[in-house]
């Protein structure tokens, strides 16, 4: 194969010599072909070199940058560099604002931080608008709602009826169908949890001790079957929920309760037959659609809310009757007298009498789950209103008693227990157990509390 010799510069056409003058391709190619030692001694080898190439006579020149390898250098990061690396992938606008407040907008990453803070804020607002459109609405429309309460004499007569006001928050689940959960603000305070030794029906696990309770919100009523069915239809978080865990009540013949409707409205009956894990899942789904940390009340919160300032066996005084609570009135407490008994759960709030905090049916109707694991004493119970919990306890706490239980078992201090997942008919099964939801005030930021 013959190789054609290249023409000398003087033998090339004038146009070719002109192109060579504009694009020093031969010189650079020749330089690249030199030994490495000669390249480094030339004084220009450390600078990036540009090689211009032309294909034909009509194509534009293409520039290729060739950068020789350099020795590795040690890069020392400043405090600003480290701070930036820690937040640069954040989606929180406050992280960038904190960076700017420390290093300023004219710093190395200042302008970029301003832009990312603005972008993150826009995304946050978009997400907030979407949640407002898709999720339940939290409003304060029912703030300072009026309710009726009263006291009972030791023999069960109604005295001191009065109208009070409570701050109520409505969580609208379905506006068209009128499905909403109402929560009452429970003020912070301290109280003596448990019962004195002389209290009739007292159990050894009701030892008196002081507890401080932070402000929180608690369900005005027990969760109804209609509310349960709505939440059960929402997307699963950790486990499935049955649309109606309540079992049909086969009541024994009883004397009719005064004021009770002949046929209870099923939608407003309290849900019952709920396992503890199902009650927790109910709260998880509420949290998912609202962004608020709803949960079951702790045992201390429940008793504090039930008492509503009372240090007596019941929120209404020294006895309890079916005039103010749906219990088994055939077995009176203290000096009380037998009263008509329904023998079944009634629509929530249907008796019309709340305790002094504005909470209905804290005594009787259905048992209510608490967060706590059940232990036989209060020796290690928290004194700040928190829950006592252990892994996989045999029993969970339930409070309040139920429609078929006598007053003694519906006292404020009475500590019920049940096997958290055991259904069926037994003394410690979940039959007759429902729930009401709770949330700390600091976790329930309402529209208007702090406009952003």
For position 312, what pLDDT does the model report? 97
pLDDT by 10-residue block (mean), the chain, 452 residues = 45 46 44 43 46 47 46 65 84 88 88 84 64 50 81 96 94 88 96 97 96 97 96 94 73 44 73 97 95 96 98 97 96 95 95 97 98 93 94 96 97 97 91 96 70 42
Instruction: Provide the pLDDT for residue 399.
Output: 98
CA distance linking residue 342 with residue 326, whole number of Å: 7
Give 417's strand partners.
397
- Return the pLDDT at 114: 87
Structure tokens belonging to residue 58: 């009509």
Strand-pair partners of 314: 317
- For 28, the 3-state DSSP assignment is helix
Report how far residue 67's alpha carbon sits from residue 250's, in angstroms, rounded to the nearest whole number: 89
Structural domains of the chain in order of their starting residue, each with its CATH number: 14-66 (no CATH), 79-134 (no CATH), 139-443 (3.90.1580.10)
- pLDDT value at position 75? 55
Q: 342 exposed, middle or buried (CB, 10 Å; 0-12, 13-18, 19+)? A: buried
Strand 168-174 vs strand 137-139: parallel, antiparallel, or unpaired?
antiparallel
Report how far residue 417's alpha carbon sits from residue 428's, in angstroms, rounded to the nearest whole number: 7
Q: Which helix (H) or strand (E) holds 51?
A: strand 49-53
């Amino acid at each position: 194969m013959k190789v054609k010799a290249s023409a000398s510069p003087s033998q090339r056409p004038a146009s070719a010599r002109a192109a060579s003058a504009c694009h020093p391709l031969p010189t650079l190619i020749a330089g690249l072909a030199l030994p490495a030692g000669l390249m480094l001694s030339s004084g220009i080898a450390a600078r990036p070199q540009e090689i211009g190439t032309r294909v034909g006579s009509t194509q534009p020149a293409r520039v290729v940058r060739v950068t020789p390898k350099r020795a590795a250098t040690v890069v020392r990061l400043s405090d600003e560099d480290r701070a930036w690396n820690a937040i640069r992938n954040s989606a929180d606008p406050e992280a960038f604002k904190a960076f700017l407040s420390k290093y300023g907008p004219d710093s190395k990453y200042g302008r970029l931080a301003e832009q990312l803070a603005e972008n993150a804020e826009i995304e946050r607002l978009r997400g907030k608008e979407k949640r407002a459109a898709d999720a339940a609405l939290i409003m304060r429309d029912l703030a300072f709602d009026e309710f009726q309460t009263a006291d009972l004499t030791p023999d069960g007569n109604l005295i001191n009826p009065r109208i009070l006001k409570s701050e109520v928050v409505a969580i609208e689940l379905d506006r068209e169908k009128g499905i909403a959960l109402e929560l009452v603000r429970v003020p912070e305070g301290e109280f003596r949890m448990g019962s004195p030794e002389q209290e009739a029906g007292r159990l050894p696990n009701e030892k008196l001790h002081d507890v401080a309770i932070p402000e929180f919100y608690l369900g005005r009523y027990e969760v109804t079957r209609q509310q349960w069915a709505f939440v059960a239809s929402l997307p699963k978080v950790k486990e499935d929920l049955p649309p109606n865990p309540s079992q049909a009540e086969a009541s024994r013949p009883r004397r009719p309760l005064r004021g009770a409707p002949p046929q209870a409205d099923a939608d407003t009956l309290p849900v019952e037959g709920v396992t503890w894990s199902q009650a927790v899942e109910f709260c998880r789904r509420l949290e998912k659609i609202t962004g608020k940390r709803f949960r079951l009340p702790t045992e201390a919160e429940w008793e504090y809310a039930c008492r509503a300032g009372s240090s007596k066996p019941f929120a209404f005084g020294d006895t309890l009757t079916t005039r103010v609570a749906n219990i088994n009135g055939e077995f009176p407490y203290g000096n009380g007298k037998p009263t008509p008994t329904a023998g079944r759960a009634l629509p929530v709030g249907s008796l019309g009498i709340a305790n002094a905090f504005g909470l209905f049916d804290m005594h009787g109707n259905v048992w209510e789950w608490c967060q706590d694991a059940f232990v036989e004493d209060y020796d290690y119970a928290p004194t700040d209103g928190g829950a006592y919990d252990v892994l996989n306890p045999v029993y969970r706490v339930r409070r309040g008693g139920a429609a078929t239980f006598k007053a003694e078992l519906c006292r404020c201090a009475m500590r019920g227990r049940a096997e958290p997942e055991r259904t069926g008919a037994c003394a410690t099964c979940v039959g007759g157990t429902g729930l009401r939801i709770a949330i700390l005030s600091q976790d329930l930021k309402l529209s208007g509390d702090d406009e952003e």
